[in-house]
């Protein structure tokens, strides 16, 4: 009798979670993007939301919650119920950099989130205003040594990937640059084109229009290999900053506690979506490299990136301003 009662109680606990996973989704899904519209992560989120809406049969609504170097939106998603109705586009800054820059970012990457799949790799371009005389990194270094602290660079916010990568460039080159944080990529690019700042590093989707229109000049790519999207732009490694390799990425996360069946369904749909010719072309047009790995592979990747960027923060000496 006791065994029967215990089994009944266990079934009562398990069945609601199972039913939730089987019925999901029965309402709209919120996809939190912790950046303003137009930034690389936002572009990834909107492309993915469009596809998931079609295959899941429920509206996937992008909700931009920028602020505090992506911590506002990320902390918001971390506190949502683990029911599969709040998802997060988490990238390098939010997931693996901020935990090393802030004593309490408002969330714990490994505790509060369930990795679903890495979506896209976003190599960055280092760009300058066309009137700035540097044609390459060595030119920049020479000018910066002649005018220490006078050259300004923009980022999407203190502690962002854009900020840290440029701080790493300055540290590796042994030069002093002045950081000007903005609330998102659009604002920093606007000021770069207007000549109010000299330089910025941002993802290729975010800078593509300005570069192709001649309003910003690329002088380096931050990955170890040249990008197929901008094959004429040399890497930082080629230009003397040996071994420099820093690439942004954007992945899909659910809140911890989301049923495994929901996570599996999400992963399957993301991977299938990224394999379609239409999505492959869409990402190519946006200068992004699609990934679409398994839940286990993405979870391992996140742990590796946490360690890697933690070391990068120490080596670069980057500080939150």
Beta strands in 161-198 (DSSP E): 178-181
Instruction: Determine if the pTM surpasses 0.75.
Output: yes
Distance between CA atoms of 71 and 174, rounded to whole angstroms? 30
- In this predicted model, what pLDDT tens digit does every residue of 207-244 receive, in sequence order? 989 999 999 999 999 999 999 999 999 999 999 999 99
- Structural domains for the chain: 24-121+248-316 (3.40.190.150), 123-221 (3.40.190.10)
Average pLDDT of every residue of the chain: 89
Question: Strand, coil or helix: what is 244?
Answer: coil
- In this predicted model, what pLDDT tens digit does every residue of 159-178 receive, in sequence order? 778 888 998 899 899 999 99
End-to-end CA distance of the chain: 64
DSSP line for 71-85: HHHHHHHHTS-SSSS
Query: Is pLDDT above 80 for 273?
Result: yes
| Omega of the bond leading into 25 within 30 degrees of 0 (cis) | yes
Residues 6+ apart with CB under 8 A from 103: none
Query: Is pLDDT above 70 for 82?
Result: yes
Helix H or strand E segment including 21: helix 2-23
Query: Is pLDDT above 90 for 320?
Result: no
**Out of 155-159, 186-190, 224-228, which region has the weakest mean confidence (pLDDT)?**
155-159
């Amino acid at each position: 009798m006791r065994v029967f009662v215990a089994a009944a109680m266990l079934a009562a606990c398990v069945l609601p979670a199972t039913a939730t996973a089987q019925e999901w989704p029965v309402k709209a899904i919120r996809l939190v993007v912790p950046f303003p519209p137009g930034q690389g992560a936002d572009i990834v989120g909107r492309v993915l939301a469009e596809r998931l809406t079609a295959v899941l049969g429920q509206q996937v609504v992008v909700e931009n919650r920028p602020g505090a170097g992506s911590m506002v939106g990320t902390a918001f998603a971390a506190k949502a119920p683990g029911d599969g109705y709040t998802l997060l586009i988490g990238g390098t800054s939010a997931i693996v950099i901020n935990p090393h820059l802030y004593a309490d970012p408002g969330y714990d990457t490994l505790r509060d989130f369930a990795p679903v799949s890495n979506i896209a790799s976003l190599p960055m371009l280092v760009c300058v205003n066309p009137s700035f005389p540097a044609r390459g990194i060595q030119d920049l270094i020479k000018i910066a040594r002649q005018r220490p602290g006078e050259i300004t660079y923009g980022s999407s916010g203190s502690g962002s990937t854009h900020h840290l990568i440029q701080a790493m460039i300055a540290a590796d080159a042994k030069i002093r640059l002045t950081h000007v944080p903005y609330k998102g990529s659009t604002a920093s690019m606007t000021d770069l084109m207007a000549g109010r700042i000299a330089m910025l590093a941002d993802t290729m989707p975010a800078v593509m229009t300005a570069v192709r229109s001649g309003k910003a000049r690329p002088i380096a790519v931050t990955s170890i290999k040249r990008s197929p999207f901008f094959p004429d732009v040399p890497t930082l490694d080629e230009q003397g900053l040996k071994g420099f390799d820093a690439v942004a990425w954007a992945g899909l996360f659910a809140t911890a506690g989301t049923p495994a069946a929901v996570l599996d369904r999400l992963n399957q749909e993301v991977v299938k979506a990224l394999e379609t010719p239409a999505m492959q072309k869409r990402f190519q047009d946006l200068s992004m490299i699609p990934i679409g790995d398994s839940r286990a592979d993405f979870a391992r990747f996140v742990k590796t990136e946490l360690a890697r960027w933690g070391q990068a923060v120490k080596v670069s000496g980057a500080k939150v301003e």
